[in-house]
Amino acid sequence: MTGSRAPALDSRLLLLPALLVFAAFAAALLDLLSWSFHATGRIGAAPSGELGLSVYARVLSDPLYLSALATTLRLSAVATAGSLLLGLPIAFWIVRTPSARMRATLIILVAVPFMTSLIVRLYALLLALGNNGLVNRALQATGVIAENDFIPLIRNETSVAIGLVYFVLPFVVFTLAGSFKRFDRTLEEAAANLGADELVVLFRVTLPLMAPGILAAGTLAFVLAGTAFATPLVLGGSAVRMVANVIYDQALFAQNLPVAAALSAVALAFTIACLWLAGRLGRWGSNA
Amino acid sequence: MSEIVLSLSAVEIRYGASKVVEAASFDVRDGEFVTLLGPSGSGKTSLLRAIAGFVPVAAGEVRLLGHRVNDMPAYERDVGLVFQNYALFPHMTVAENLSFGPRMMKLPTAETATRVDEALQHVRLGAYAGRYPHELSGGQQQRVAIARALAMRSKLLLLDEPMSNLDARLRAEMRVELVALLRGIGATALSVTHNQEEALAMSDRVIVMAEGGIRQIGTPGEIYRFPADAFVAGFIGDANVIEATFAAVDGEATRFTVPWGETVRAAGRAPEEGDALLLLRPESVGVCAPGEAPDVESNRVRGRLVARAYMGAYVEMRAALGGIELVAKVPADHASAHLALGDDIVLHWRPDVVRVIRR
Amino acid sequence: MARARLRVAVGLLWLLRIGAFVLLFAPIALVIAMSFGGDAYATFPPRSWSFKWYLNVFRRDEFASSFLTSLTVAALVTPISVGIGTLAAYGLWRRPGATARALESVFMSPVLLPLVVTGLAVLVFVNRVGIGTGIPAIVGAHVAITFPYAFRAVLAALGRYDRRLDEAAASLKVRPFRTFWHVTLPLIRPGIVAGAMFAFVMSFDDFAATIFLIAPDTRTLPIAIYQYMEFNLDPTVSAVSSLLVVLATIGVLVVERVIGVDRFFGIGDSTR
């Protein structure tokens, strides 16, 4: 609403609270990151030690941290692939089903786990994958393994991977469904009219058009999985450390705030890099 | 002399770097129904919105009842606006829509109720006070929008394309109703439309606009019979616009050279030099077969009938001659029915129906 | 050949769908089943049935008090986030343009932050400032986390709002604040409610940021569950988990009633 003088002042006032909150938070974040330039320090005390990038050098060369980074990247990739594989068919179903009731039901079915506290879901997975859990019991009952035997499905990368997929899946489904619904079905009808069968239409018309949505969902999955904390904690125990776990340990147990801060910076850079890369890929795709 | 409710002088409206309206000046007097008429892009809607206060004025003055309102915010101006899409509040009933303005002005409850009732009576929607907008038809919504503006008892009513969302028959009905209603309550109104029939039928005065400028201001009769330029001539009603040059004075008339080589007599003295445009309304043009004689005074020209359209009340005939086409509208039961496409026909008209427009 | 190919593909599609829903629900169903087990430790299948673990949930201090803490925090976070988010969204909506778009990105940027980084940043901050951990710190962190979602929900609702209604109100000589209160707000209420629900749930469920900010006597429910889980193997955790699943289900059904789950999650169509 353009026009006369008064609104200009009003609108800026409206933004003030949000800007203040944002500014405070930005200050806190910058403060945290500044710790990464000091050699030593812990929470509650002032930073000490010489200034410089020594912490980063340490973080990026020490095998402890490097393995955590490698694990993180590895598991995020697996989780992204898994969640896309499982999420695409559901998202497709949600968007394509003609019945509004069915669509609402499907969304509710995905939403209930989504709105359930993560800890609850992780505990549930623990029960399912545990040594005496559902899966092992089922395998014992069907004779695949011996009565007292079990397949170790928790406290290893497998369970963390499954857990990450579980965690990320609803996000992926909703992102995919949200981007698919804007679809123009007449393109598919045109292809069919020109003689393409369903599979060809799927691979040559539908999937390419869905590519931006898939890219967005995949990026989201990768970032969420990469910065996951609770999932590796509960399902991986001490065997699987991802970057978020190391940050926590270094800050609160090892009293090593600079390292925690440096890793936080790395995590932040990782997130920004993923989004930037996704943006570039998206543009490259649409120019191709 | 009734008071001036709205006065614009040299108003200019800009959008970014381009001028949307230039040098607009006119008055609207108490009790008048004035229409801003023009095609899309003419700036008429911008002008209306500027008067309402939603668009800033880059230069010039807008005065309401003598007070300069250029810098007054919209919610302080004493104007009522009827929106093209009605803009009824979907979460309020008809009565609540109508009472919203008075309530926010903190009028006493009794006064508010009176105004709402009155407004509903004026638009004959008394029984619909409790309905919601989505439960009403388009025509009913329009009337609620009008009633809502009326309930404010503003000095000036602004109407943005009031008929554009109605179907043809409703439009014809509402035209008559709306004018009668506004006249009945003595309202002053400024309306915007691109429909020239509507403008001519409803207005006391018409302001014709094109490309940001005002081309002519006058009564409907003046605009129709004495258009100021080729644009107005072409925009209002149908017209044959003929390029001509002054040829000679002929007694009480003037002769012009026209594209098909002959000369045409136009009644009255015209300035002696230069190029002109001759305006000929198709309904003033008669048609006959070659050999049949119109009266001696009439101009006549022979052409080939290239199109004929039956319009119910009249038949539109197009004749090609000398590189141009002329259109005639003859009554449907006219003896010209026997003329066939491709035949030679004679078009004739009297000198006094020729209007001379400067180029 | 194409027919067979198609059948295989369709079969695979349905397999993946079923697999996905199994992943989503089997663990939860398991938890609910286990919560009724009579044994002192979690075995499957349970050898007897009992409600006693539910009673234990309410008897045990840590669950009751942490539930209250979670509720308190969420009840504080939601109005703050939604209030600030609504003002910000409205402010940006009033003056669209390049600045508005830039500010929109700025306000959405906290979603980029990993939750642990948020938690740690707030921890460092409260130590610097001297407030210490506890409810204010947790509320602060949660506001930072939930604000972008509340903001976006309201912005989306404003996107569907007809600007000319504001003009109509102005033409009725209604001042801008009154217009917002009587016209705009009622019509964007569904979006605000959606944002509020999102903020509430995100705050209630948060683990990764909150764990940095707990104090000896202040924990949220997810943290309490985790800590209990570390040392106890009895089905009490299953019981409290089941209760939370029920809560989530109720929440989702309420959302469906109020604005529809499709709209809430951004999948709605305009025909609704």
**Rounded Cα gap, residues A14 and C176, in angstroms:** 13
Give the strands of the sheet with B314-321, arranged side by side.
B286-288, B344-349, B299-310, B314-321, B324-331
Give the per-residue pLDDT at B192. 96
User: B108 at the A interface (CB within 8 A)?
Assistant: no
Residue A145 pLDDT greater than 80, yes or no: no
Does A46 or C134 have the greater pLDDT score? C134
> pLDDT per residue over C178-218, tens digit each?
999 999 999 999 889 888 988 999 999 999 999 999 988 89
- In this complex, the residue of B79, B87, B91 whose CB is nearest that of residue C168 is B87
Cross-chain Cβ contact C187/B87 below 8 Å: no
Instruction: Please tell me the pTM assigned to this model.
Output: 0.82
pLDDT tens digits for B322-339?
Answer: 788 889 888 887 766 677
Q: Which residues between 45 and 84 in chain A have a beta carbon less than 8 angstroms from any beta carbon of chain C? A: none
Residue A183 has what pLDDT?
65
Give mean pLDDT, residues C78-94.
94
Number of structural domains found in chain C: 1
- Structural domain span for residue C152: 60-264
Cα gap C67→B273, rounded to integer Å: 97
Chain A 251-270, residues with CB within 8 Å of chain C CB atoms: 251-252, 257, 260-261, 264, 267-268
Partner residue facing B152 (CB), from C173, C186, C187: C173
Averaged pLDDT, B297-324:
85
- Token pair for residue A166? 């579980």
Q: Does residue C270 surpass a pLDDT of 60?
A: no
**Residue B123 pLDDT exceeds 50:** yes
What's the pLDDT score for residue A239? Answer: 85
Structural tokens at position C105: 């990105």
Contacts of C194 (CB under 8 A, 6+ apart): C153, C157, C255, C258, C259, C263, C264
CB-based contacts of B226, cutoff 8 Å, min separation 6: B218, B355
In this complex, the residue of A89, A133, A174 whose CB is nearest that of residue C266 is A174
Residue B351: is its pLDDT beyond 90? no
Identify whether C2 is part of a domain.
no
Q: What is the pLDDT of residues B125-136, one digit of tens each?
A: 999 999 999 999
Please tell me the least confidently modeled range out of A191-195, A218-222, A238-242, A269-273.
A191-195
Inside any domain, residue C203: yes
Q: Is C83 domain-assigned?
A: yes
pLDDT tens-digit readout, B237-246? 888 888 888 8
- Please report the pLDDT score of residue C171 as a whole number: 94
The pLDDT of C134-160, averaged and rounded, is 92
C227 belongs to a structural domain: yes
> Which chain C residue has its CA at the smallest distance from A93's CA?
C17
Tell me the angle at which helices C221-231 and A118-129 cross, rounded to the nearest 10 degrees.
Answer: 20
Selection from A207-211, A269-273, B348-352 with the highest mean pLDDT: A269-273
* CA pair distance C116, B197, nearest whole angstrom: 70
In this structure, is residue C23 part of a structural domain? no
Range with the poorest average pLDDT among B107-121, C9-23, C51-65: C51-65
Q: How confident is the model at residue A42 (pLDDT cuts 50, 70, 90)?
A: confident
CATH number of the domain enclosing C210: 1.10.3720.10
B210 pairs with which residues across the strands? B213
Cross-chain Cβ contact B78/C169 below 8 Å = no
Chain C, 174 to 193: residues with Cβ < 8 Å from chain B are: 174-176, 178-179, 182-183, 186-187
The C residues from 124 to 163 touching B (CB cutoff 8 Å) are 162
Is the pLDDT reported for residue C272 higher than 50?
Answer: no
Residue B271 pLDDT class (50, 70, 90 cuts): low
Cβ neighbours, 10 Å, residue B109:
10
C45 prior amide bond cis, ω within 30: yes
Bigger pLDDT: C39 or A69?
A69
Best of A9, A21, A92, A266 to disrupt the C interface (most C CBs within 10 Å) is: A21
Q: Where are the alpha helices (DSSP H) in chain A?
A: 7-35, 54-61, 63-96, 100-115, 118-129, 134-141, 157-180, 186-193, 198-200, 207-226, 230-236, 243-252, 257-287
Residue C31 lies in a domain: no
ipTM beyond 0.90?
Answer: no
pLDDT in tens, B38-56: 999 899 999 999 999 999 9
Domain annotation covers residue C44: no
Query: Could you read off the pLDDT of B68-100 as tens digits, one per residue?
Result: 999 999 999 999 999 999 999 999 999 999 999
- The answer to the question of residue C11 being in a domain is no
